[in-house]
Amino acid sequence: VRNFVVRVGRKVEGEWRRDAVVVNSHLDSAPASYGASDAMSMCAVMLEVFKNILARDPDMKRDVVFLFNGAEEIILLGSHAFVSQHPWAKHVKVLINLESAGVGHKSVMLWCGPHRQLGMARIFQRYAPYPHASSAVQDIFENGFVPADTDHRIFRTFAGIPGFDFANYMNGYRYHTFMDNIEGVGLGFLQQNGENTHALIEALTGKDSDENWEALFAPENDTPAHIFDVLGLFVVVYSQKVGFVVHGLVLLLGAVQMLFSMPTLASIIVYQASCLTAGLLGLVLFLLVSALTAVVISAGFGLPMLWIGRHWLVIPLYCSPATAATLFYLFYATRALQRYKAIRCDGARPLEVALDVYARLAGLLLAATWH
């Protein structure tokens, strides 16, 4: 395993300073792939950031280590070699990992700390000029729904180093293939990653780094956070406790609305149970029709994953027939519910019933995310 490691900083009395930030990406790529996005583009970003750091005021309060690791594709051996054998690894307190799971477009924050750490999320919220993040993304990876891995796991598992993990995800059909070429990367992708990386390094090593460093490792900030960006313009971050209150209010408002819309408790229970059942069956029908459509396209026409290179095809091929089947079902489900006097849905339309049910399901999901 061969890694290239560069450190920007200074020695105090012949010793390196004890607090450092590591920026990591990998030089290798999958066989038969040009590796332009995964991950030569990220290495190019690191080189440009490295050049900019050298050109600025060299009096940084903390060091920056640039790790160009040479063995990520073979079970993350390059990053493991660094954290287990390199003497600089013991100085590293924060990781910025640059990865790729697609070709071009823009990067999303896959991980923030070990478990959506509030202090790190607030630093990203404050300093990243081109943010793209969602708590749901980390939940998906953290619970193993995506069979993928990055060097971030090595740092947090074997060295206990928290950090940011960024990766692009669009154009997955070109990922790890000969189509991962320089034409697909795009200047905007490089600019977003470069400016975000440089801004985070500045926040952790520059003039405001003492304050940020203290907030980053403060005990009250070592708690899970809810994170999402709004159209890439800004990031919303709030703590687990705030989330519990906000999400609980969604359920409370739904309960209040039910109390004022139904004459008796019995009608509330019957109506909600009936609509919930109808809505869940509609959701199951939507998924079944989508799956059946995929089987027909794949087995019947020999065109598996037809949509992956043309994402817009998802709407006519899968969403449209599934939505039509679900609305057709909800129409007759509503007609059936209207026959019972105990259920106050007279005059309700299928879409109204669906929205009522799915809004309550969304409230339940929001409340469940408090943990």
Token pair 């080189």 is at which residue?
47
Enumerate the β-bridge partners of residue 230: 234
β-pair partners for 111 = 165
Pick from 285, 319, 138: nearest CA to 224: 138
Give residue 296's Cα distance to chain centre: 32
Q: How far apart are CA 331 and CA 328, in angstroms?
A: 5
SS3 at position 287 = helix
Q: What is the DSSP letter of 369?
A: T
Distances (CA, A) of 218 to 120, 214, 215, 233, 299: 11, 6, 5, 27, 55
72 catalytically annotated: yes
Structure tokens at 116: 């959506």
118-127 vs 209-216: helix crossing angle, rounded to 10: 150
Distance CA 193, CA 37 (A): 12
Check 13, 15, 48, 72 and give the catalytic one.
72
What distance in Å separates the CA atoms of residue 253 and residue 247, rounded to the nearest whole number? 10
What residues are labeled active site? 72
